[in-house]
Amino acid sequence: MQVNKHIQVTMDKIQHFPVLCWKTSKKVGAEDPRRIIHSLKVGLSLTLVSLLYLIEPLFKRLGSNATWAVMTVVVVLEFTAGATLCKGLNRGLGTLLAGSLAFFIEGVANRSGRVFRACFIGAAVFLIGAAATYMRFFPKIKKNYDYGVVIFLLTFNLITVSSYRVDNVLKIAHDRLYTIAIGCGVCLLMSLLIFPNWSGEELHNSTVLKLEGLAKSIEGCVNEYFFDTEIDENKESCSGDQIYKGYKAVLDSKSIDESLALQASWEPRHSSHCYRIPWQQYVKLGGVLRHFGYTVVALHGCLQTEIQTPRSVRILFKDPCTRVAREVSKALIELANSIRNRRHCSPEILSDHLHEALQDLNKAIKSQPRLFLGSNRNKASNMLALAAAEAGQKRCRSGGSLSSVKTDSSALMEWKTKRASEQSREAERKVLRPQLSKIAITSLEFSEALPFAAFASLLVETVAKLDNVIDEVEELGRIACFKEFINGDDHEEQHITVKCEKPKINVSQNQLSSVSGAE
């Protein structure tokens, strides 16, 4: 029976496999249609280099070395132009260097007897192999030329070793270089001229998306924190997941940003606005955004923490907090728009509203001084109890924490005696142990006031960090020669004269002012 069922399940899986494949294909294509274009480009390139074999005159000329063109296309042609260039140049450089070194060694080895020659070649292969591999651990080489060193090693070994058996090595090397050049040529043609995808473009867009994601996250956090179960029931969907999505892309962006910037630095200039686009500044901005993101994570953490300020107490601060969050989020979206349209950001980016909202928050907190008192004062305790009673019962966990507040040391003792008697039973340990620090925390009375204070403080912290973000975006705008800000610019798409501060690049300045004049 068991086996039958297993077979049944496997059969089902096989039957559903084509459908699953088709669905995945459609999804992958819908997510980014450029993928389909890229696949067709690779197919076309491969067919082109195959012609070296299939067409008689070409094959007579190049012979079986044509395989190297095929190999080059398969290995070098990448999704973005920058990655292709980076790999292509690495391949070219590695091949050239390896070729030169191999010929040098060949020259030395040739002057001696056959056995000594074999030993010499063996030793050279060992030494160069070990040295090149060791060099791959150097941080600078690992970052920029890892692939080049692999190709160097590959070519060097192939040439050196085959030179022992073949006589016209020079002819082989020549043909091979020729076909590799053809392969690289096809790759460059495909990636630079036919529907090119630019790594720089990708980096630029991802930066915009990150800013927008953070904006959404902050607003989401604050909305959920003051979320009133009764009034806006249908807003539930736009919470947790959305907030997480907003900052997730930012947190994990480091390696992607860096490789995109590296690839982008190989790409030829394709912007009419600036001589050289400062990709490293994008990486730096990414770092600042990550730090901003950590604060947002901490803010999100306030929603999920064990002890919660009762909802009825929170509601007192709803208005100013929501406004602060809205203003921060507005500023972030303005920054995103400024980068998207490659213009400086509005001078109004930190508006009066933000300041007013901060002041209101201040006033609101000052108007409730008793909140921040410990409950050893009767009034405060009563007030909190009242608030909790109001809010409580409605799936509000924090309400519960209030009533169990007084059990601190007894709960702990109970837990400990239980624990001591059953120490060896793993399963129970799993159930019991995690309670300890929760008991320890929820049993403390200060916790009622602290969570909201932390929330407010983190919210204020986002405003402070907003400064760094604005700084970096302005720096980016300055180096990348963004347009001046003009009101309503985003809609009318007016191209204003480009102001560039770098004095050294006057030639290209003239070029680009003529370009913008022509528009």
> Which residues inside 107-126 make contact with its own copies, applying CB under 8 A?
118, 121-122, 125-126
Residue 187 near residue 77 (C-beta atoms within 8 A): yes
DSSP secondary-structure letter at 276?
S
192 near its own copies, rule: CB under 8 A: no
Residue 261 near residue 279 (C-beta atoms within 8 A): yes
The residue among 381, 361, 359 whose CA lies nearest residue 453 is 361
150 near its own copies, rule: CB under 8 A: yes
245 near its own copies, rule: CB under 8 A: no
CB 222 to its own copies: min, Å: 16
Pick one of 65, 84, 95, 157: the residue that binds its own copies (CB under 8 A).
157
CB 457 to its own copies: min, Å: 3
CA–CA dist 271, 309 (Å, integer): 52
- Between residue 450 and residue 469, which ones bind its own copies under the rule CB under 8 A? 450-451, 453-454, 456-458, 460-461, 463-464, 466-467
| Token pair of 307 as six digits | 């002890």
Pick one of 26, 171, 301, 506: the residue that binds its own copies (CB under 8 A).
301
74 near its own copies, rule: CB under 8 A: yes
CB 5 to its own copies: min, Å: 16
| Token pair of 337 as six digits | 């728009």
503 near its own copies, rule: CB under 8 A: no
333 near its own copies, rule: CB under 8 A: no
**Residue 30: is it exposed, middle or buried by C-beta count within 10 angstroms (0-12/13-18/19+)?**
exposed
Provide the CB-side half-sphere exposure for 314 (13 A, CA): 27
Residue whose token pair is 């197919």? 43
| Token pair of 315 as six digits | 């509601």
Q: Which stretch in 4-12, 29-37, 99-107, 192-200 sits in contact with its own copies by CB under 8 A?
A: 29-37
CB 452 to its own copies: min, Å: 9
CB 124 to its own copies: min, Å: 9
208 near its own copies, rule: CB under 8 A: no
Residue 219 near residue 66 (C-beta atoms within 8 A): no
CA–CA dist 49, 262 (Å, integer): 28
- Between residue 424 and residue 453, which ones bind its own copies under the rule CB under 8 A? 426, 429-430, 433-434, 436-438, 440-441, 444-447, 449-451, 453
Residue whose token pair is 């972030």? 332
Per-residue CA distances from 423 to 29, 417, 435 (Å): 55, 10, 15
144 near its own copies, rule: CB under 8 A: no
CB 235 to its own copies: min, Å: 25
Could you tell me the maximum CA-CA distance found in the chain, to the nearest angstrom? Answer: 102
CB 30 to its own copies: min, Å: 12
414 near its own copies, rule: CB under 8 A: no
Nearer of residues 208 and 441 to its own copies, judged by Cβ: 441
∠ Cα 168 170 175 (to 5°): 105
146 near its own copies, rule: CB under 8 A: no
365 near its own copies, rule: CB under 8 A: yes
Per-residue CA distances from 195 to 44, 81, 339, 349 (Å): 13, 10, 23, 36
∠ Cα 439 444 446 (to 5°): 145
CB 398 to its own copies: min, Å: 13
Nearer of residues 36 and 393 to its own copies, judged by Cβ: 36
Q: What track of x and - describes contact with its own copies for positions 256 through 285 (by CB under 8 A)? A: ------------------------------
CB 171 to its own copies: min, Å: 14
| Token pair of 294 as six digits | 């950590």
502 near its own copies, rule: CB under 8 A: no
The residue among 441, 442, 435 whose CA lies nearest residue 414 is 435
* Residue 202 CB contacts under 8 Å (≥ 6 apart), including other chains: 80, 260
383 near its own copies, rule: CB under 8 A: no
CA–CA dist 23, 519 (Å, integer): 44
Nearer of residues 231 and 502 to its own copies, judged by Cβ: 502
For 361, other C-beta atoms within 10 Å of its C-beta total 20
CB 278 to its own copies: min, Å: 16
197 near its own copies, rule: CB under 8 A: no
70 near its own copies, rule: CB under 8 A: yes
205 near its own copies, rule: CB under 8 A: no
